[in-house]
Amino acid sequence: MDMKGVESRWLFGLLFLSVLELTSCGLSYRKVESGEELSKAGMKPGLYEPEPIRPDFFGKSNKPKLKEDGYGEMPLGGANRLDLAEVKNYFPGTTIIENIGQEDGRPFKYYDIIKGTAGSVFIRMSSKNDKKVNRLFIFDKGVADVYGVKPGMTVKSAQRKRKGLSLVQDSGEQFLVAKRSKILYLIEENTENNSDDLKNRRIAALVWNGSSK
């Protein structure tokens, strides 16, 4: 067997490898594209080299805020649409799961965005249009909204930060809402099953509500 010929064909085939995006330990990885690059780097085929995450994904701050019309640099509402490629761009260094859920017999697409070992953001798309965001849930305790409210904060503290919040119930879950606002707050369940003061319960998630299902 002509080993030089085999090696040449192997190197030629590597020239056609496409960029492959992966995430591991908070880094975005791309597959090395050619045999020449492998040779220069002294690497073996199949290894991945780290590609630093751009610091400007969320503007000047690495901690994006939830706004009435978006999350960080990701616009929400109106004519804005979202697909898997855009989700990857807006959430670098995370694991993204795309799947189908169902509620009241209606299927809908969702994206579960995992940061580290815990869920960070959950995006539910409209059952009528799988590129339109229906609701976005933020569980990351390091993220605040424009009113200063964060997951993990007590209801009492949230009410101090933001005036005019009232309690509503939807599908068995409790939320704090404000008039003419798309931002609401999911309240954690009362796992003790007692009549404790609501104000001592905590905010489980920040929620952006696009309303249309």
- How would you list the strands of the sheet with 27-31, edge to edge? 22-24, 27-31, 48-51
pTM of the full structure: 0.68
The per-residue pLDDT for 165 is 95
In the DSSP assignment, the letter for residue 194 is S
Give CA–CA dist 138/126, Å, rounded: 18
| 92-102 pLDDT, tens digit each | 889 999 999 98
pLDDT interval class at 192 (50, 70, 90):
low
Class of domain 66-209: mainly beta
pLDDT at 207 over 60: yes
CATH 2.60.460.10 residue ranges for the chain: 66-209
The per-residue pLDDT for 213 is 55
Give CA–CA dist 2/10, Å, rounded: 13
| 77-89 pLDDT, tens digit each | 999 999 999 999 9
DSSP string, 15-58: TTPPP--EEETTEEEEE---HHHHHHHT--TT-EEEEPPPTTTT
Q: How many other CB atoms sit within 10 Å of the CB of residue 53?
A: 14
Whole-number mean pLDDT of the chain? 75
